[in-house]
Chain A
């Protein structure tokens, strides 16, 4: 009766939400009481037994208040029933044992209970132990099970017999054959997995809704069904994603990673098509809106334009470079910078060391496992250096502009696995050298302005290899053409007078 009244007025949740605050009182009190008791018994501190009794009273009161608030909070719902039950009884246990421990040591009652001193330590100990277990379960209730140990590092993880770290799905893996993909299993479920399941799962089901399996999605939550098959506009699953981010009803909540436009389009398309399980993409009718979204799921297929390819080197695990080896390069005047804080790859530039020459080049191979970009523009290196440079196995960008490099040197680069960018501006390289470079499968852009390369070869190579950009700069005639302004002859253009 009482809680119905409370619930209907909102008081229950108001008081209930003080639970996380109140629980810390008995935890603190009990622990300090236990410490003092230990200290007293080992004669480490001079403390009156009355003091401890008083702290026990505070603990008992605090624990009782926390129990009441906790009960009211649980009425709000959305918690794992088993875990909640365990937490509840442990919490009540703390309060009960704290009361007993206080009772048997209190002046007035002490003498009336003959066995009081015998059970004192037992009950006190139980209260402390239950505080720990109840606290842990409480943490699991709010943050989800496994919160505490989620980031256990190796080797403790293996020692404790825990499975390897499960990284939450960050990005849906590209689908190779989109027509043959299963709409629910391969597209919808991964999206939910990535953006929704964190709060809507077995142990934490906010709004009584679980989205980790089709059976639960169909069941819906406390606000009704998650979707109306065939009508995405009336489906909460889509509607809530489209609400203003500041709206209370918006999902995922503000601050959490949001669904992309494509992902919302995919969800609503699936619902529009009747939310089938086990159907392939090819079996459903595709709306115009979903086509680009589906395309975005394929490998390399971005929204309306091709994504720039990312070098595979960036996803390799590379060992950290030895600081001493880096220092050697820095002493030679080279600039050595990490590519970024999350990678061990290095960029090396001779911008401040124009005197860098063939004799110093072998220094670079000490970091052959880390150097990803090398700028040697304007230095004194010659063809002899390129054999050494070819040993930099992860090199993706190489600047050799304004050096004495020629075709002979370039031959050494052919074996490089990841080289994508080569700057040969103002060198002696000829058509033959360029041809050997263009044959490298990883190569994306080559710059050959002011070298001995001819336009006809550039055109021919560009045609036969459309992925490769070869730039031979701009000639005087091209500039003349650029300077001419096309006469505006179009009819449709208009202006106000």
Chain B
């Protein structure tokens, strides 16, 4: 009887340890586990192993120009007409009715009836030797204008945030596809064994509208999904061992769990179990590496000043600094999201005047600092920095419900918006594409989201048409059946 009780107690303890671990990994690491759980639903065991793929995972098809990526996504979509796309002609039409040809057969998220045109709110000037137009909303970016190449006429298919974000990051407006970062790590492999190859940092108080799928792994093995870290406080919740649990004990626990998982794998041969095993090991190593890489206290004060951060403040600026630290440690893909750019004109925050200025003040300096910082460390040569949103904003003033809005705002616009790239393999100071006089349509160098994706993959050494993954009977690619490399911006 006593033996039996003891055994029961042991069993209970055993369970508790395991559950405790999962629980304590909470947010970031727990998401990994959950991801692999959900992933295993879709990846049937008949799916070929990652190593049998026609694309050799971990090796680019041709010598890449960009080895690492920092992708800055301004969730909500800032107005290109206030920041980069200077339209003096639009000023002349300020307050006049929108021409009928802009409205016929068009659908907008909120605009109804005949809206008024809204002139640019920023003061524009050309900057650098390249003469790039940048407004006074972004005074610091002006100073690095010559490092940047602009795409002035990007267009998309989706006018709602979540599907447009999915399209931008996964190539499809529907759920279930791998994100750009997942494709990247699948294609190029991960270098630093103590850190995930794809890391995500979000700021602005909210996650992107499309949720974790914008940095998910879709049908790729879930080991390729983005791992999100918190920017304030502990980078990963409960990353440090609780009292009473030392590192050795943690190690033996994980070894035991992995042994059981390995046995299960040998029984059922589900590749997702291998993912699970490697994630446990990674989580264990991250307990040491993540607090170290996320610690900015050793950065010199003038570097902190350049970004404008105070240790532990969890702002976008901090994320920029962390992004540099991560790529410095050979993390392959760092995705930054910053929420709060949806300037409809509905409130003091969401508009293209004061509200947008505030957002720019919080992000302009750190982005410019990031580019300078990467450059002086010899990292910008092979690190690609991408800035953009899911769509742009209309040249018309939003008139939600046919009413005059309390602040100046613009609706979602999919015909033309601006993105920029800098660094790894991109020309310096080139402006590709042009919009019409009112900034409505792209008239020259019009590129689709899929073209942007094809270009990014090209820079990383992949032919987007041949970089595929077999799933459910067909080869999938990031750009689906579209996309053309924008050769004009390749260095």
Q: List A residues at the B interface (Cβ < 8 Å).
A: 260, 303-305, 307-308, 314, 335, 337-343, 345, 349, 351-352, 399, 401, 421, 423, 425, 445, 447, 449, 471-476, 479-480, 482-483, 485-486, 488, 490, 492-496
Contact = CB atoms under 8 A, between A and B. Distances in A.
Given A352-B194, A471-B378, A493 B372 contact: no
B167 to A, nearest CB: 22
Most interface-central of A351, A471, A486, A493 (chain B CB within 10 A): A493
Interface stretch (B59-67, B212-220, B233-241): B59-67
B140 A485 contact: yes
Given A304-B430, A493-B123, A447 B60 contact: no
Interface in B27-81: 56, 58-65
Interface residues of B, number: 56
B125 interface: yes
B88 interface: yes
A340 B306 contact: no
Contact of B123 (A335, A337, A480, A495): A495
Interface string B438-470: 000000000000000000000001000000000
B372 A474 contact: yes
Given A339-B63, A342-B61, A494-B91, A479 B302 contact: yes
B269 interface: no
29 contacts: A305-B428, A305-B429, A308-B491, A337-B189, A339-B60, A340-B61, A340-B62, A340-B63, A341-B61, A399-B378, A423-B378, A425-B378, A445-B378, A447-B376, A449-B377, A471-B378, A476-B302, A482-B368, A482-B372, A483-B306, A492-B125, A493-B123, A493-B124, A494-B123, A494-B124, A495-B120, A495-B122, A496-B119, A496-B120
A352 B306 CA distance: 30
A474 B56 CA distance: 40
Interface in B273-290: none
B157 interface: no
Nearest to A353: B193
Given A479-B302, A480-B302, A483-B365, 5 more contacts: A340-B63, A340-B64, A349-B191, A493-B124, A495-B120
A33 B125 CA distance: 82
Nearest to B489: A305
Given A337-B58, A495-B121, A449 B376 contact: yes
B376 A496 contact: no
Nearest to A444: B381
Contacts of A340: 59-64, 461
A338 B461 CA distance: 12
Contact of A482 (B59, B119, B306, B329): B306
A113 B118 CA distance: 96
Given A482-B140, A482-B306, A488 B123 contact: yes
B60 A341 contact: yes
Interface in B337-392: 365, 368-369, 372-373, 375-378, 381
Contacts, number: 119
Nearest to B306: A479
Contacts of A445: 378, 381
Interface in B228-252: none
A482 B330 contact: no
A333 to B, nearest CB: 9
Contacts of A496: 91, 94-95, 118-121
A381 to B, nearest CB: 18
A26 to B, nearest CB: 34
Given A471-B375, A474-B376, A351 B191 contact: yes
Nearest to B130: A305
Contacts of A305: 427-430, 491
B209 interface: no
Contacts of A482: 140, 143, 306, 368-369, 372
A352 B60 CA distance: 21
B125 A490 contact: yes
B63 A343 contact: yes
A474 B377 CA distance: 10
B488 interface: yes
Interface string B417-437: 000000001011110000000
A241 B193 CA distance: 50
Nearest to B372: A474
Interface in B152-180: none
B255 interface: no
B139 interface: yes
B192 interface: yes
B136 interface: yes
A490 B378 contact: no
Contacts of B193: 352
Contacts of A352: 191-194
A367 to B, nearest CB: 16
A480 B301 CA distance: 12
A401 B330 CA distance: 14
Contacts of B91: 494-496
A444 B405 CA distance: 55
A445 B381 CA distance: 9
A260 B485 CA distance: 13
Contacts of A473: 376-377
Contacts of B7: none
B305 interface: yes
A218 B19 CA distance: 81
Contact of B59 (A308, A337, A351): A337
A492 B378 CA distance: 37
Nearest to A422: B378
A349 B302 contact: no
B329 A351 contact: yes
A495 B121 CA distance: 5
Most interface-central of B56, B91, B125 (chain A CB within 10 A): B125
B264 to A, nearest CB: 28
Nearest to B93: A496
A480 B305 CA distance: 9
Nearest to B330: A351
A449 B328 CA distance: 15
B367 to A, nearest CB: 12
Contacts of A345: 63
A250 B271 CA distance: 47
Contact of A349 (B60, B122, B306, B330): B330
